[in-house]
Structure 1
Amino acid sequence: MNNTLYPIKFKPILKDKIWGGRKLNNLLNKESDLPNIGESWEISDVEGDTSIVSNGSLKGQSLKYLLENLKDDLIGYKNYKIFGDKFPLLIKFIDAKKDLSIQLHPNDKLAAKRHNSFGKTEMWYVMQADQNSNLIVGFNQEVTTDLYLKHLEEKTLTEILNFDKVNAGDTYFIGVGRVHAIGAGVMLAEIQQTSDVTYRVYDWDRVDDAGNERELHNDLAIDAIDFNMPDDFKVNYSKVKNQSNDMISCPYFTTSYLEITENIKKENSQDSFLIYICVDGEAEIIANGISEYLKTGETILLPAGIKQYEINSEKATLLEVYV
């Protein structure tokens, strides 16, 4: 086993967004002078936005460098055969001070053909929500292409969309082709395929400081929308303490809920890296004799070559992710 393997943290990549706010500063301690921080990219291998290690002996190296040098020691043999020097997941925190645009993402086939990219299957875990905040997920009735286009043209799209009132802990699985939007007042963790391809279909008629509307992608979106998806997007999961509780398992990632109230020993039996996203509290992760602390709003990567490790905490809630 490679002796350099240890719990790796990365420098957050912060994104100024027209709909962003201050929660990522105030609640998650992300340091930035940006006026409207909408997103913190925690682990990213998106072109032009590659994460940089912020701790330990690999500090200053890029995620790309880690992949090229550690290979299957970093992401696992099976994953390296599939993805090569490309990290398969993008981990984010998102703060919507205002409503995000109504949007959807293409599947792998369309994304590869049109954008030389993966598709964008994703999930949301709500960390905080102001009173009466909503997420838009799917439609509130059976919708045909003609009905959708009629509402789009008449700017009445919201009449056929499903609004879900949300609270902290609510979890959603957003499959490719599903129309969705994060509503004002919601802060969440997002786990997704490595892709930055979004088809924006409606943006509430808002304009930027220069009076320009943001680009819409309705020509591309119409082929990508799946009008026949079942209403299975809300995720129910157990919350048994001090063990991993299955939340979502799909071809692109598996996510578990882990609430810790004591010191636990863990084993990685997967041929994969592990990612821990701290959504509440604070924990210490120890691997190969190296200790790293994880606070609310922080993310850590455990390379696949680490098989035994400890998580120590009196109170922490983590999302555990692997491929």
Structure 2
Amino acid sequence: MTTILYPFTFTPILKERIWGGTKLKNYLNKPISSENTGESWELSSLPNEVSVINNGFFKGKNLNELLEQFPEEILGKVVYSRFGKQFPLLFKYLDARENLSIQLHPNDELAKKRHNSFGKTEMWYVMQADENARLIIGFKENSSKEEYLQKLESNEILSLLNEVPVKKGDVFFLETGTIHAIGAGIVLAEIQQTSDVTYRIYDWDRVDANGKERELHTELAVDAINYQTTSAKKEYTAIVNKSTPVVNCPYFKTSIISLNDEVLIDKTSDSFMVLMCTEGNFELLFEDKKYTYQTGDTVLIPAVFTSFMLKGIATLVETTI
């Protein structure tokens, strides 16, 4: 196969956050200069936040420009027929020096109605966790709108919520409507629908540099919450030099590749593939070309690449649709 396309990497879109820190630089080689960088958006097509290619012939072009030119070749036949020229996922790395706000995301129906947006189904892969680090995910026991509002009003909302200890390698799948928060001391990779719609319900009574609290979305959240308990953690056993499935939902399929030598990838042209290198270094070998990557790199492999080799010692989070 002859193509002018190749595996793409992008300039990180760095986000300052009240809860952010410096681990994105220390662990993932991101070019941050502040003490509170919370997010590195690796691959995004959100309006005003479109990723720009930083390698090869198309360096300097943004993702949407590329999709205008090669929609089916990059996205894949099935993805293009479903989403058109819109890239349907958003990939991030996050560093929580402090607790994130407690929040949730609406489903597709509510997000479309209220914000003309996709909903936000997402998953997390924990890359680093300090001792005793926790996530908040859902309720301890089945709750109700009435109980939730009463506890929110009395500032006792934490008493209802489920805290989960985490360690490196843990995977969590968060359906829309699930109350959640990333706790202090965690670095993770996040894969989600292309959406930035978040309903913040509690922010630990924090204020910003100007003494202001961040906006809460109490009324919007009430009808979007899943008040039932949920089991978000995905159990898996990574098999060396194999692609181990961990999440398979209507929006994305994600596997973990524990690379310790080489893996031949054979896939269809139905979907693109994205590899997030959460640890180590690897090479991608395609025909007579070699591409080299390190920890923190995120690579978009066009759908027309149906057979290629991965070689190295690394942990990779692999995503297709």
- Taking structure 1 as the reference length, the TM-score comes to 0.97
Residues of 2 paired with 1:57 and 1:286: CA distance? 18
Please list, as runs of the form range in 1=range in 2, the aligned pairs for 1:1-323 lying within 5 A after superposition.
Answer: 3-228=3-228, 230-269=229-268, 271-313=270-312, 315-323=313-321
Confirm or deny: 8 A CA contact 2:22 2:34 kept in the other structure: no
Paired residue type of 1:273: F
SS of 2:20 mapped into structure 1:
strand
Task: Tell me how far 1:18 sits from its aligned partner.
Answer: 0.3
Confirm or deny: 8 A CA contact 1:6 1:288 kept in the other structure: no
- Taking structure 2 as the reference length, the TM-score comes to 0.98
Task: Tell me how far 1:303 sits from its aligned partner.
Answer: 0.2
Residues of 2 paired with 1:254 and 1:66: CA distance? 23
SS of 2:158 mapped into structure 1:
helix
Confirm or deny: 8 A CA contact 2:269 2:305 kept in the other structure: no
Residues of 1 paired with 2:268 and 2:315: CA distance? 21
Confirm or deny: 8 A CA contact 2:269 2:304 kept in the other structure: no
Residues of 1 paired with 2:108 and 2:259: CA distance? 36
Question: 1:77-111: per-residue Cα shift (whole Å, max 9, x none)?
Answer: 11111211210000000000000000000000111
Confirm or deny: 8 A CA contact 2:107 2:118 kept in the other structure: yes
Residues of 2 paired with 1:292 and 1:263: CA distance? 14
Confirm or deny: 8 A CA contact 2:245 2:255 kept in the other structure: yes
Deviates more, 1:269-278 or 1:184-193: 269-278
Unaligned runs of 5+ in 1: none
Residues of 1 paired with 2:165 and 2:305: CA distance? 40
State, as a whole percentage, how many aligned pairs show the same letter: 48
Root-mean-square deviation (Å) = 1.1
Confirm or deny: 8 A CA contact 1:46 1:195 kept in the other structure: yes
Paired residue type of 1:290: K
SS of 1:237 mapped into structure 2:
coil
Residues of 2 paired with 1:32 and 1:166: CA distance? 26
Paired residue type of 2:99: D
Question: 1:36-90: per-residue Cα shift (whole Å, max 9, x none)?
Answer: 1100000000111100001111111100011111111000111111211210000
Question: 1:165-207: per-residue Cα shift (whole Å, max 9, x none)?
Answer: 1110111001000000000001000000000000000001100
Paired residue type of 1:267: D
Confirm or deny: 8 A CA contact 2:45 2:63 kept in the other structure: yes
Confirm or deny: 8 A CA contact 1:5 1:288 kept in the other structure: no
Question: 1:137-182: per-residue Cα shift (whole Å, max 9, x none)?
Answer: 0011121111000110011111110001111011100100000000
Paired residue type of 1:316: A
CA 19–165 in structure 1, closer or farther in 2 if over 3 Å, else same: same
Task: Tell me how far 1:288 sits from its aligned partner.
Answer: 4.2
Paired residue type of 1:213: E
SS of 1:100 mapped into structure 2:
coil
Paired residue type of 1:178: T
Unaligned runs of 5+ in 2: none
Residues of 1 paired with 2:267 and 2:57: CA distance? 22
SS of 1:263 mapped into structure 2:
strand
Aligned positions, number: 321
SS of 2:81 mapped into structure 1:
helix
Paired residue type of 1:320: E
4+ residue stretches of structure 1 with deviation over 3 A? none
Confirm or deny: 8 A CA contact 2:283 2:311 kept in the other structure: yes
